[in-house]
Amino acid sequence: MTVEKISRSVVAVRATVPDDAFTANALGTRREGSGVVIRDNGLVLTIGYLITEAEEVWLTDQDGRVVPAHALAYDQETGFGLVQALSPLGLPAVEFADAAKASAGDAVTLADGIGQQVDAHIVTKQEFAGYWEYLLDEAIFTAPAHPSWGGAALFDRDGKLLGVGSLRLQMSRAGEVADINMVVPINLLPPILDDLVKRGRTAKPPRPWLGAFSAESNGMVVVMSVAEGGPAAKAGLRQGDIISDVRDGEVDGLADFYRKIWENPAGSEIPLRVVRDGRETWLRVKSADRNSFLKKPQLQ
């Protein structure tokens, strides 16, 4: 099936989140993006931050028909979100591509739920570490960027789904700066899909979460901010702190920091060596399951 036909299975997603939700300040209480139908019963795949803590979700097809939906699951590890339409969508499920076989230079199309499509190409596939304690071993990066990337569907030239749009970033090459999209590859979904549908989460134990928003600078991990009421804030971690060690291991960049943290179970106490104002100190952060801070979706 051509991209033009299958892209009609991409819908607009609108979510409303309570004012007192944990993510309300960071992500807003009204969120809009896209999702793509992956099962004929109206199961829609989107990017998780659109529906985290949502109390109300609406889907709109490209003919303007609005359907109520339920925020079914948000997987912290991949970033995927699932939404179940509560009335028939009447849209065909898309087929999954094998994102592992996609290569730099491949022609792709990023399509959103209001009919906008950007013909693009894969710039690169590489590791991505996000400041919100998020890591992909191999994300897909495409250019030119789509102006409405959140939850947009990335199709290969055969109209099969390669992944879901997550971010708009800037890339510098040969002195020129270009906007690109980061896409979560679809291959991460099949191993966890049934668990997400049945249980709302995967069978894996949750990763430990610190509530520290960090950036990498010359290989160093620098704290930009901490989540109010989160484990890092309670332990005294502050903006501007440099995290140099986790337990007895030196930290080599943001991805390495996350992997060292995730060697521990959620709820464990994790010692961090921190450089603050040129002085070293140790902090002990009692990690948590991030989901325990989030409001659970309620079936409408």
Q: Look up residue 91 and give its amino acid.
A: L
Q: For residue range 31-71, list pLDDT tens digits in order.
A: 999 999 999 999 999 999 999 999 999 999 999 999 999 99
Q: For residue range 146-198, list pLDDT tens digits in order.
A: 999 999 999 999 999 999 999 999 987 777 888 999 999 999 999 999 999 99
pTM of the model: 0.95
Map out the domains of the chain with their CATH numbers. Answer: 3-93+193-199 (2.40.10.10), 99-187 (2.40.10.10), 208-293 (2.30.42.10)
Least confident of 75-89, 107-121, 171-185, 273-287: 171-185
Contacts of 287 (CB under 8 A, 6+ apart): 208, 209, 210, 231, 261, 264, 266, 267, 268, 269, 270
Cα–Cα distance, 236 to 6 (Å, whole number): 50
Q: Say how many C-beta atoms besides its own lie within 10 A of residue 296's C-beta.
A: 8
Rounded CA Rg of the chain: 20
The separation between the first and the last C-alpha atoms of the chain, rounded to the nearest angstrom, is 34
Strand, helix or coil at 11? strand
Q: For residue range 218-262, list pLDDT tens digits in order.
A: 999 999 999 999 999 999 999 999 999 999 899 999 999 999 999
